[in-house]
Amino acid sequence: QDFFTQVPRIPPDAIFDLTKKFLGDPDPRKVNLGQGTYKDENGAPWILPVVKAAKDKTQDANHEYLPILGLATFRKLATELVLGKDASAIALQRVASSQALSGTGALHLAGEMLFRALGGEAPVYITKPTWSNHRQVFATIGFEVHDFKWYDDNTGQIDFESITNTLRNAPPRSIFVFHASAHNPSGCDPSEEQWRSIARIVQERGLFPLFDAAYLGITSGDYDRDAFAIRHFINECGLQAAVCSSFAKNMGLYGERIGLVTFVTQSSDEAMAVESTLEQITRGEISNPPAFGARIVSAVLEDESLRAEWARNLSTMSTRIADMRKDLFNALIKLHAPGDWRRVVEQRGMFCILGLSLEQVLHLREKYHIYMADTSRISIAGLNPSNVWYTAEAITKTVQ
């Protein structure tokens, strides 16, 4: 029987494939600037001290199933965290939430929910460039996915005119996927003033904002500051929205797959309907979500001293990333690397697009064992005091 003859062979995911190649490279000089996972100053994965402490507190937990929507304390505390404890939408019970399989699972659940709510007629707009999985997540659900220019490669800055033009011309009810902070891959976020203008157009045109919140807290070191756009849209403008939060980067819980999807609706009746739909979707897909990560996050969020420790850990990570940006920039300037490198220090968050050609990227990989995405996006967290000079030298020799 020809059961599988029609199945196409799909090429491997570019970023996971890059990690595999890096891991298989025996050269001791190798540098991994591919995947966006935080590493400490020795290039090692960092278990946040707050997570160690929280894990100790969860040791006695049993191994029963969680409810379909996830751990109730986690959902409550994580919703308050992202919207702000005093958000009127919470007081008015206009919020639906569900635990999700990290940020990706939250995006998927949000997409499935919106597809049921709006049918296929509402297009999804994603930024160009964007995280490599956005198109796939929404296209797989059945949405028509459009992209719009977010960032100008020539200037290394946000293209605000393109953003506002796209918003003004999109049909009402279009879904816009915004990166809440630290746009991946460009590291270019709107200013607060620009976010205010974006919110105004979203409101005027009847668009639906969906925030991908994968880097809250690790962008600036201050969670509340990084949540500005989300809270402005929802709390100040009273907009309906979806927020997809991940605790992968900001708690270092990559493999635990812990995230949250939050919908803010017009009424508590709608919120209950949305929550019941999220519940049904999850029951059909994974029955109920995993418990471990949810318990860790809850243990952190319900304890004032652990929250304070988390704030310090966020600051450690974001400060180290900012320092590495400065070190890379200073090294490139010292080495007289041809080009304008200001973007390295001007952009925010984990990522920076260096603006190299594919040929140069491959040269860096083959000759110097420095691994970055084909687009020349680098994960700054892969740099440390031992490899930043070597990396700057290799870049300089490659662009000369």
Instruction: Using CB under 6 A, list all residues that contact ligand PLP.
Output: 36, 102-104, 131, 179, 184, 212, 214, 246, 248, 259
- Name which of 75 and 179 has its Cβ closer to ligand PLP: 179
Least distance in Å: CB of 342 to ligand PLP?
Answer: 23
Cβ pair 82, 260 in contact under 8 A: yes
- Integer Cα distance of 75 and 69 in angstroms: 8
Residue type present at position 400: Q
Token pair 């996972």: residue:
37
* DSSP codes, 127-138: EES--TTHHHHH
- Name which of 331 and 378 has its Cβ closer to ligand PLP: 378
Can you say whether residue 27 is alpha, beta or left, with left for phi > 0 and alpha for psi between -120 and 50 degrees?
A: beta
- Name which of 94 and 377 has its Cβ closer to ligand PLP: 377
Residue type present at position 179: H
- Name which of 39 and 179 has its Cβ closer to ligand PLP: 179
Give the tokens for residue 40: 């400490």
Q: In the sheet where 241-246 sits, what is the strand order?
A: 95-101, 258-264, 241-246, 208-213, 175-179, 124-128, 145-149
Least distance in Å: CB of 30 to ligand PLP?
Answer: 21
Q: Which is the catalytic residue, given 30, 226, 249, 341?
A: 249
Least distance in Å: CB of 70 to ligand PLP?
Answer: 15
Least distance in Å: CB of 133 to ligand PLP?
Answer: 7
Q: Which is the catalytic residue, given 189, 212, 226, 327?
A: 212
- Integer Cα distance of 183 and 130 in angstroms: 8
Q: Which is the catalytic residue, given 46, 131, 195, 341?
A: 131
Catalytic residue at 212? yes
- DSSP strand pairing (151-152 vs 145-149): unpaired
- Name which of 110 and 271 has its Cβ closer to ligand PLP: 110
Catalytic residue at 249? yes
Q: What are phi and psi of 98, to 5 degrees?
A: -150, 140
Q: Which residues pair with 128 in a beta bridge?
A: 149
Least distance in Å: CB of 181 to ligand PLP?
Answer: 10
> Residues near 60 by Cβ (< 8 Å), separated by ≥ 6?
none
Active-site residue list: 131, 212, 249
